[in-house]
Structure 1
Amino acid sequence: MAQKHQIKVGIACIARKTFDFKAALDIFHSIQTSKLQKISNIEWVIIPNLVIEIQDAQIAAHHLASKEIDAFICLSGTFALGHLILEFNKVLKKPILLWGLDELPYNGGKIRLNSVCGINLNASNLYKAGVKDFHAIVGEELVELENWLDAIRIMAAFQTAHIGIIGYRAQGFFNLDVDELDLYNQTGVLIDHYELSQVFQMPVEDSEINIRKQQIIKLFDISQISEDQIEKVALLTTKFDQFMKTNNLTTCAIRCWPEFAGSFGISPCAAMSILQSEGKIMACEGDILASMSMLAHQAIGAETPFLADFSQVNFKEDFALLWHCGVAPCNLWDEKCTRSLDGYFAGGKGVTADFVMRPGEISLARIDYAPGEYRILLQKGLGIPMKKELKGTYLKATFSSGVRTLMDKIVYNGIAHHLSVVYGDYIKPFEIFAKLKHWKKI
């Protein structure tokens, strides 16, 4: 698993002295040492004492706000005053996790915590106050907590991302367009535009180009391309790398055709395959939302997301081919076929990466926009072995819901034709993220 996006999270334990507040404080201390400290890439801002009175909540909320937290956890140590969560929210205006505790053994017939009822009260107060970006869990298992934290990581990654579009969307791909200010309103993302010529003219060192050339020769079978094409792939890889560093880009979406091959001499696929294997996020065809889908996967620890078309279907054998023209990260090669570069694309100018991708459990995601709404398509699947029979990069996959069902979801919801794909199960954090954002989940 890759390193997850770093976030800062505040936590406070609320209680009421008519219940066993001392036991609640002991549990709170135990959770800090036995649970919270085990979760990586979190900076915790902890209110050490129980929050019982209204003034306690006001003071704690302002302290947390001063620390610029990304989200807030309200642990219901016991049932507590309904004012408290509203006081926190009034100041913080951040996503909230309502965390309830399992009830302790009864002591003389008296309920000791009544924590779950406290969640009920707080959720009802927030909901009826128009605050709906909260989530609730009960118990001390870390799985549900980490799924919520991962949803927060996605939100924080968007807030801090610098996303560039180089050129524009590809010709005729109207469905990849976004309303930039609405996207900013929804996610905090601002898009910066660059011309293709800015990449072409990016100054780079000859020594860096040579290092890239040697890397290409080591990674790929290059027998199908010319010496000039090898030089151009090395040059473009170096220019892209330097361009993203110079402009401090988290991700970029590139108008990779129709002008690119004509203006630079090759298509950018092979260069993008190499750089994506090194952790950079680069989306084809000017697809900003694809780059954000890939960024979201990366933020929650998925390694090297890759872009794919839901390209071919076989209803009889119930599989689909996740294919693209030759841009997937080269480290995802199945290690059985020949990993090669080819000039078949763009009227023979190429250059694309060609290989079958490794089998295994996969997760698909697509953040998508249609007039008036954002949606997220989510699907788990299984990549299965196949022989190298095509140009480009591709994976044969089956899906528990069936290929026809998945195709219907994509087609009849008007989902754009690029999916972010990763190895492993990365569905639940997206579901929570969608709920917090009030986006439609498909």
Structure 2
Amino acid sequence: MTALNDLDSLRVGYVSFGRATFDMTQAKAMTHSSIEALENENGVWSFVEETITTVSDAEETAKRLNGTIDVLLAQFTTFVDARFIVSMAKELQVPIIVWAIREPNQKPGQRLSLNSLTGANMAGRELHRLGMPFQFLYGSVEDDTFSGRLEAAFRFWSAWRKLRRFKVITLGDAPDGFFFSTPGQKAIDQLGLRIESLDLNEAFQRASEMNDTDVEKEIERVKTSVKGIDKLPKDNITKFAKMITVLKKDLAALNADAVAVRCWPEFFTNFGAAACSTLSALSDSGIMGACEADVLGSLSMDIVHQLTGSASYLGDLVEVNEEKQAITFWHCGAGAFSLANKGTGAVAGQHPNRNVGFTLEFGLKPGLVTILRIGEDLDGNLRALIGRGEMLDVPQRFKGTSGTVRLLDGEKNDDAIKRVTRVIEAGFEPHYALAYGDVVDELARLFKYSGIPVTRF
């Protein structure tokens, strides 16, 4: 499942509000043109085609939509008082996008014909007072940026919805001493996380029983994304293809959102192949795969994936570069193929400590990135670490996959070592999710509505 697929399945209700003392001719025309444009946007739509002009109509509409939508897009074609939005919010109990439109009369001294923004402002005040999750959107469907801003809003509410029904599959237990990989019951209950387990050795057995001819298409597919496949032992590549075929079927059957895998030592000792390439290919397909059975790491990966649409990366924090005021994230050989620096591309390799393939060898591509770690505090409650950074265009730092990030938004006199010191002394987990794009503000809002405190990197 990809982030785009999740947007396609988001159930969106559209309503428009209007008041007869304003210019209802323009208001109704705006409703019509908006519906016409919105029909081309992602989502499963429920359109209320008539502009709602009475509170009783708002109440009846809410009852009709109740249980059929995940988010309400409420367009204020004119000013209306707060009873309209409050009655719908209390009935529907879903997030609301409060949408104000531009005034059509642009010449000085003309009538304020719609006063949409004031209606939206009043609605926002009441939704905030009630503690209802909502978002404000301003503009018209004709605006060049409107479609992109609407998609970003849908990404946000899709991620918010998914956070409350997240399902992760664990393949094997966490390696010895990786206590952070398995969340406590309090954290699980806080979001209602659904965790199901698959037996690692049983997966090995099913993969081993497959015929080589059954996975030829998978091998040909990976050759289009990764260089140097033919330079590795054929057995490494065949076992990758068999394992990802088995896992894809299992994850689809279980309707999984992500997977957390015990990637060592049994993958090497019992199966004879590295898990890194399997996790990498899964992440590129839209199912985020976390190393070392890190459940909350897989959740962190998926959330930034949902918000950015980018495959995400999970890495250890392994180095501080004082000269560049940057930090390096690394892992043994896992990283979605699409994240490789374009100068090298994704290259097939062998595990740096085990000399078994296949793993990935590349430095991460340059660009703005968002950093996220969802973890647990001393009381077992969820918390989040978020940060914004610039992935530098530098050579691959270590064997495996790695990226060097210059941290942004620091306080005065902050440096990279001070920031890393704060994170470590605060007890955050040593796996960090990164994705391309700036969604720091969206994460802050997401966790605010989810009751999860935020620390800035």
Question: Secondary structure of the residue that 2:75 maps to in structure 1?
Answer: strand
The structure 2 residue matched to 1:237, chosen from 234, 244, 251, is 244
Normalised TM-score (structure 1): 0.85
**1: CA distance between counterparts of 2:172 and 2:330?**
23
User: Per the alignment, do residues 9 and 237 of structure 1 end up closer, same or farther by CA in structure 2, a change over 3 Å counting?
Assistant: closer
Specify the alignment match of 2:260 in structure 1: 253
Question: Secondary structure of the residue that 1:381 maps to in structure 2?
Answer: strand
The code of the aligned residue for 1:273 comes to: S
Q: Does structure 2 conserve the Cα–Cα contact (< 8 Å) formed by 1:4 and 1:300?
A: no
Specify the alignment match of 2:299 in structure 1: 292
Question: Secondary structure of the residue that 1:276 maps to in structure 2?
Answer: helix
User: Per the alignment, do residues 192 and 385 of structure 1 end up closer, same or farther by CA in structure 2, a change over 3 Å counting?
Assistant: same
The CA RMSD measured in Å over matched residues stands at 3.3
Question: Secondary structure of the residue that 2:29 maps to in structure 1?
Answer: helix
Task: Note the C-alpha offset of 1:385.
Answer: 3.1
Specify the alignment match of 1:139 in structure 2: 139
1:410 maps to 2:423: yes
Task: Note the C-alpha offset of 1:320.
Answer: 1.8
The structure 1 residue matched to 2:406, chosen from 352, 373, 398, is 398
Normalised TM-score (structure 2): 0.82
User: Which digits, 9 at most, give the CA deviation of each residue in 1:154-189, with x for residues without a partner?
Assistant: 123445654211222332222333245754553x54
Q: Which runs of 5 or more structure 2 residues have no equivalent in the other structure? A: 411-415
Task: Note the C-alpha offset of 1:252.
Answer: 0.7
The structure 2 residue matched to 1:10, chosen from 4, 9, 13, is 13
Structure 2 counterparts to residues 75-114 of structure 1, below 5 A: 75-105=75-105, 111-114=112-115
Question: Secondary structure of the residue that 1:73 maps to in structure 2?
Answer: strand
Query: With CA pairs under 8 Å and 6+ residues apart, which has the higher RCO, 1 or 2?
Result: 1
Specify the alignment match of 1:436 in structure 2: 449
User: Which digits, 9 at most, give the CA deviation of each residue in 1:374-432, with x for residues without a partner?
Assistant: 44433333223333452211122223336346525633543322222223334444343
Specify the alignment match of 2:213 in structure 1: 207
**2: CA distance between counterparts of 1:212 and 1:171?**
32
Moved more, 251-260 or 16-25: 16-25
The structure 2 residue matched to 1:359, chosen from 366, 386, 405, is 366
Q: Does structure 2 conserve the Cα–Cα contact (< 8 Å) formed by 1:274 and 1:329?
A: yes
Q: Does structure 2 conserve the Cα–Cα contact (< 8 Å) formed by 1:103 and 1:112?
A: yes
The code of the aligned residue for 1:171 comes to: D
Identity percentage of aligned residues = 25
Q: Does structure 2 conserve the Cα–Cα contact (< 8 Å) formed by 1:134 and 1:436?
A: no
Specify the alignment match of 2:72 in structure 1: 72
Q: Does structure 2 conserve the Cα–Cα contact (< 8 Å) formed by 1:324 and 1:392?
A: yes
Specify the alignment match of 1:309 in structure 2: 316
**2: CA distance between counterparts of 1:429 and 1:87?**
27
Specify the alignment match of 1:191 in structure 2: 195
Specify the alignment match of 1:29 in structure 2: 32
Moved more, 258-267 or 150-159: 258-267
**2: CA distance between counterparts of 1:432 and 1:38?**
27
Task: Note the C-alpha offset of 1:272.
Answer: 2.3
**2: CA distance between counterparts of 1:364 and 1:427?**
8
1:125 maps to 2:126: yes
**2: CA distance between counterparts of 1:4 and 1:429?**
20
Q: Does structure 2 conserve the Cα–Cα contact (< 8 Å) formed by 1:322 and 1:396?
A: yes
Specify the alignment match of 1:153 in structure 2: 158
Task: Note the C-alpha offset of 1:339.
Answer: 1.9
Q: Which runs of 5 or more structure 1 residues have no equivalent in the other structure? A: none
Question: Secondary structure of the residue that 1:149 maps to in structure 2?
Answer: helix
The code of the aligned residue for 2:369 comes to: I
